[in-house]
Amino acid sequence: MHDVSSHSKSGYTRDDYCIISNPRAGGRSKEHLLQTIRDSLAPARCLFLNTSPDGSAFSAIADARALGLRRFVAVGGDGTIQAIAPHLNSPEETLGLIMAGSGNGFAAYFGYRRNIRQNLDVLIRNEIKTVDTLQVNGRPFVNLAGVGFDARVAAEVRTSQKRGFQAYLLAVIRMMSGPLFWKGSVVLDETRIQGEFLTVVVANAAIFGYGFRIARYALADDGLMTVVLVNRVAIWRYILAIPLVLTGMTRWLSWMTEHTASEVRIIPDDATPLQADGELFPTAPDYTFQIEPRSLALITA
């Protein structure tokens, strides 16, 4: 854990900020970005901390909380938010976002843009909305999880020397030459759906990284999960559908169906990986999803 602030670690108030960044997120140095944050949020004081090498932010939050800080800001992507959000005590502790990761779907859903000045203006306005978070097999996440193809892509990206969109694009191309589909069942409350899928996505918000709007009807404060079943079809149909997914026009795709449920269980016939917020989670025989209604106090645009 590293404090890059020039301020003393005493005398903070509830109106000051703890800025927690993931040094690996986005694959670029953040020193200039952090300086911009410090200058723009003045006269409020900022305590700058990093996530741990294993991605955890628990100790950073504990240190900041002990100093009286209650405003936290995640500098990174969905994975960085995932590391911070579960440890905050809503509603007294709030979370703001700075888009600085490879995938920023959760921030984009709540009106943040890839513009540091816009992000800082959002923090200063401090408009707070209490939103849901999710768990899978007891592990928390905030945006969405996928079982199947997108998890295989996430696993490939982990081994890549590249970061950002290029790493994901190369991983998708490589995955096209391997096994794409999995068979199994998806249980939505009391309804069981058997099939063969490219992926099954369980969403809190609507957007994958890079603007892919996978879940048209997802609402992050309704106490429900949105489940998107991407059924097996010819590969060329997925490729032609990319513009529709980017623009949220997936209602035209008969092989992509959207459902809502308060309880979700995914049971692959064979071992199939899962990613959540772009992070690879442990592979399990089945995946049980739960929702934590209005468990995160989020600063939104």
In a domain, 7, yes or no: no
CATH of the domain at 188: 2.60.200.40
The verdict on 256 and 273 lying in the same domain is: yes
CA distance 263 to 290: 6
The verdict on 164 and 280 lying in the same domain is: yes
CA distance 229 to 26: 29
Lowest mean pLDDT among 17-31, 197-211, 269-283, 287-301: 17-31
Highest mean pLDDT out of 25-39, 161-175, 227-241:
227-241
Q: What confidence tens digit (pLDDT) does each residue in 80-103 have? A: 999 999 999 999 999 999 998 877
In a domain, 242, yes or no: yes
CA distance 70 to 18: 8
* pTM assigned to the model: 0.87
What is the pLDDT averaged over residues 123-132? 97
Q: Which residue, of 117, 132, 147, is where some domain finishes?
A: 132
The verdict on 95 and 217 lying in the same domain is: no
Instruction: Give residue for tokens 């969405």.
Output: 144
- Asked whether the predicted pLDDT for residue 162 surpasses 70, the reply is no
Task: Classify residue 39 as exposed, middle or buried by CB count within 10 Å of its CB (0-12, 13-18, 19+).
Answer: exposed
- Asked whether the predicted pLDDT for residue 132 surpasses 60, the reply is yes
In a domain, 8, yes or no: no
The verdict on 193 and 211 lying in the same domain is: yes
- Asked whether the predicted pLDDT for residue 160 surpasses 60, the reply is no
Q: Which residue, of 76, 110, 132, is where some domain finishes?
A: 132
Q: What confidence tens digit (pLDDT) does each residue in 256-280 have? A: 999 999 999 999 999 999 999 989 9
Q: When comparing pLDDT for 14 and 19, which is higher?
A: 19
In a domain, 11, yes or no: no
CATH of the domain at 28: 3.40.50.10330
Q: According to the model, what pLDDT value does residue 278 have?
A: 86
The verdict on 128 and 176 lying in the same domain is: no
Structural domain span for residue 114: 17-132
Q: Which residue, of 110, 132, 154, is where some domain finishes?
A: 132
pLDDT confidence bin for 211, thresholds 50/70/90:
low
The verdict on 167 and 258 lying in the same domain is: yes
The verdict on 122 and 152 lying in the same domain is: no
Is there a contact between 290 and 214 (Cβ–Cβ < 8 Å)?
no
What DSSP designation does 161 have? S
pLDDT confidence bin for 3, thresholds 50/70/90:
very low
pLDDT confidence bin for 251, thresholds 50/70/90:
confident
In a domain, 5, yes or no: no
Q: According to the model, what pLDDT value does residue 222 have?
A: 95
Q: According to the model, what pLDDT value does residue 52 have?
A: 83
The verdict on 150 and 128 lying in the same domain is: no
Q: According to the model, what pLDDT value does residue 1 have?
A: 41
The verdict on 231 and 216 lying in the same domain is: yes
Buried residues in 123-141 as b, exposed as e (16+ CB within 10 A): beeeeeeebbbbbbeeebb
Structural domains of the chain, count:
2
The verdict on 148 and 118 lying in the same domain is: no
Q: When comparing pLDDT for 192 and 157, which is higher?
A: 192
CA distance 132 to 297: 9
- Asked whether the predicted pLDDT for residue 47 surpasses 70, the reply is yes
In a domain, 227, yes or no: yes
Q: What is the mean pLDDT of the chain?
A: 88
Q: When comparing pLDDT for 235 and 84, which is higher?
A: 84
CA distance 280 to 8: 37
- Asked whether the predicted pLDDT for residue 29 surpasses 70, the reply is no
The verdict on 157 and 281 lying in the same domain is: yes
In a domain, 158, yes or no: yes
The verdict on 45 and 144 lying in the same domain is: no
Lowest mean pLDDT among 26-40, 57-71, 225-239, 284-298: 26-40
In a domain, 301, yes or no: no
